[in-house]
Structure 1
Amino acid sequence: MATKKIKSAGAAEPLPKNAVRNCSDRPMPGGNPYKPAVATVTEVIHETTAIKTLRVVLDDPAVMASFHYEPGQVGQLSVFGVGESTFVINSPPSQKEYLQFSVMQAGEVTAAIHRLATGDKVGVRAPLGNFFPWRDWRGKNIFFVGGGIGIAPLRVIMLHLLERKADYGKISLLYGARSPRDMAYSCEIEGWLHNPDLDCTLCIDAPFEGWTHKVGLIPNVLLKLAPDSTNCVAVLCGPPVMIKFTLQALEKLGFTPENIVTTLEKRMKCGIGICGRCNIGGRYICVDGPVFTLNQLQALPQEL
């Protein structure tokens, strides 16, 4: 399952049933796109009561060594005999020792993933989808807004940019959850708070004993922080209701649709634009996404 690159921009028109959409330049799986590579779970991290992070290593050393992906791309993680679901690869591409997926339990497949232990076998079909256009952001300020498990896609692109901090302006993160117990990557957050290259703000919905950071819903905290929209890209991921009101807050702050980026990861099945399960109009979330600007989303039919 060595990765390859496919070039040329995808069109929005519907495709013949057996056709695969041409993709913008991004890594894609080689070989049979339906056949998962077998991987071994090397570590399971309990993030919260509902979220676990799995680190997996592809069993074929040559495939693991040649595996390449861009920040924001996703993979289909499968439990054999149960099914597969789509998750962002949230380890930065510079991490070559394993692939990391963070999973919130929400159904049969995710429950099976949560039962996995070190040494268990899983299937991986990856990388799939497009990615954050980080090269286009050079010279700009970046403001990340994450809610709950939505921090997973932000983690990979944030770490990727911090590795290249000289190419960017100010990098900021606003991360919120219902309570401190619902925050993923708790073992990393302290490092984020003290990273001189990252302006990190944390918030929770309601007061909590011992909490010393912001209290309030993410859109309200964002409005109080009032980041300057000049030469700035806002990148947000989180629950739909959080995204809805955060988009409104960003627009109030002067962010234009082309400078607001988010992800859609629902309804994916085949991952290669054939089954049609994730289509919205003539677009396919698994191929044309999961990363979209607000400008692109506004051009889609209102089916979200």
Structure 2
Amino acid sequence: MRLLGRGGMGVVYEAEDTRLGRRVAVKMLTAVEGLTAQDAAWERFQREARALARIEHPGVVTLYDNGVHDGTPYLVMQVLDGTSLAELVLHSGPLPVPAACTVALGIAEALEAGHHKGVVHRDVKPSNVGTTRGGRVVLQDFGLARLAGEAAITRTGALIGTPQFMAPEAMRGVLPGPAADWYGLGACVFLMLTGELPFGQTADVGAIMERALGDGIRPLTGTGGLPQSLAGLVDELCRQDPERRLVDPRVVRDTLVPLTYGGTQTLADLVKRHVRDEAV
């Protein structure tokens, strides 16, 4: 029906499921073209897709189907009404604390559900966080790098992850684990609270990596206007050393929940205003 977006991994279309009469999102993984149903890589793709389908959580986008078309693997997923967190912050600026904590809590619960099933997201970033007009938070592209196969992606030159939100250990070439996802959450919360990218407005990957592996994301503790428990949480999530990074979902929840009062409605209002402005 229409193009929804493009990225390093592929292209996403809104489509109609003609059998069931519903709208869906179809993601063509153009970064890994050339598959056939007889390839070992295709069997692996199918295995990983089944692993993703086992994540049943309202905060994780639902996977309906998968297949291969002219050598390009594709995923058929739930389509969301609303906008991405990246677009929302770009349009609205820093989010009110209750809305930011509501989004953060949604991401954290989705990560916990995925990790419980043994699936690491590997690319937690604002453009992969959907926010709906009802104030729902949905994490998209869960495990997509693993699904498509890192080796195949690397051959195409596509970067696994986004430097602004990529954990330092992943930049060093270490296979990302759950701790890398929690770093991504911390970087997303930094963006929501400050309206700023973690390493400034630059497209220079080298400069971003130098800052990420050097001083890291600047601490928020001591920042005026922010609850210090929240500022401390962000700092703990964004620690460079994964061994010292906060990775306990219970601590994350206990810090965020008291700060979410009214956040769902505030988030819904912000999303609806953004969607309306975009339509106009």
Query: Normalized against structure 1, the TM-score is what?
Result: 0.25
Higher relative contact order (CA 8 A, sep 6+): 2
Query: Normalized against structure 2, the TM-score is what?
Result: 0.26
Structure in which a larger fraction of residues adopt helix: 2
